[in-house]
Structure 1
């Protein structure tokens, strides 16, 4: 039986060459073998130099390999991989009972071999989620029997799936780097920079509510448990953290270009920075609405300013 391969031992036998081999990190996908190879992580690996590097996850389980781990892997094997954003990869081990093949991977491999000019420069294959996976019994691979262009970067592909014909429509789409969670967070967690990495998504799948700038996520509170590792996050998945709570004593400020007036008040509700909240003036007992500036200050708007 093949012995477990130690990652440290493999590093000793890593690929060496005068010029680093340029590679691209693959999308997250499913694997079927007991051991992971370089080609499971990177596209552009010379088949003659491909090799096992570590044990795969247990059957039916997944493991996420974060950006820093992947970068170290590339360095150890003399590979040139230098993304401008944090990116990782999740590899899932097939359960051994059924076969679920990503049609996008099959079409991408076909185009790489037959039409490489079509998927260069940030262009990739996009297939609707409802048709994306091909299910087979056993470990039989689906066969791509026909590929035809339908114009405007759209295509129709025919698969032989266990003796049955299946036609799938798709298109080529510009890929957009989107910040995603690299670990599962609990609802109420504050999102930090190290909780994020970047992942490519087809531009036609990125809606106006999806967050494309990591600055809009860092420091925000996760509000939905449905937010999953590797999925795009929408403006509905997060809220600004509450920094003023009902009953907090705060400073109420009225600011104009020439005058600043301050007094003490008591917050009548919970609010985050930039949100409105009612506050009671401790001297007059009047309720006034203001905007939260920080954890101790509420700005009272001045009519006409």
Structure 2
């Protein structure tokens, strides 16, 4: 008796499950490269019905589209309103532009273009790949035209979950040179420290002659002009450390065999060791030219000013 009752219940339950209506999902977010019936409807089988949109793309299925799909696959679904629709979306991410430039730069280097070049790719829209997928890039058919280093090439994109993509590239390889730039704002007269400067590659066409191209040319030097962040150091704007400061009191020295005279003066310019500097004699108010020989000490020639004996 119990077996007969159980068989009756199973027989009644089977048609009910088979006739359970499908429900339209509010949104379809795809991870793979196929669209399945179960992506659109609840209580639907995992039957593949179409290819998924390209990564980063979406499509909209309107009411009539959904009715046609349901009928074709024998699905018990009817729209609740004439506005029933579903958005089918496949997440994606663009291939990072720096990685495109890197693989292209490597290929151009094999054709004689300097490795440290700046790549111009006007109008490039990086191809999309599935979100989170592994990918690999390659270059095919690269050619370079001289002069001007203009190139053409084909970018090949391999990624999990999508067909191989090929994208035509065209642009220019621009020569760059190293330039030492300031890492912070620097004032007139500051001594450039190791952390105050860094090397940056810039387009050669934008770099004026005379810019420092090695850190050793800059570090430990005194600034002859203020500097802004990322401004390049010009060699003429750098000099050795001043041992005589502008407007500072200095001792004027006149030394010759058997004579040693001194006087007080005020330096009118800053000067490094061995450099010429104009100084005002505070006693006579006359201006003489001397040579900075030590911190705060300037040597002058015999007969230039009256001196007080030491």
TM-score, structure 1 as length reference: 0.43
TM-score, structure 2 as length reference: 0.43
Task: Please tell me whether Structure 1 or Structure 2 has the larger radius of gyration of its CA atoms.
Answer: 2
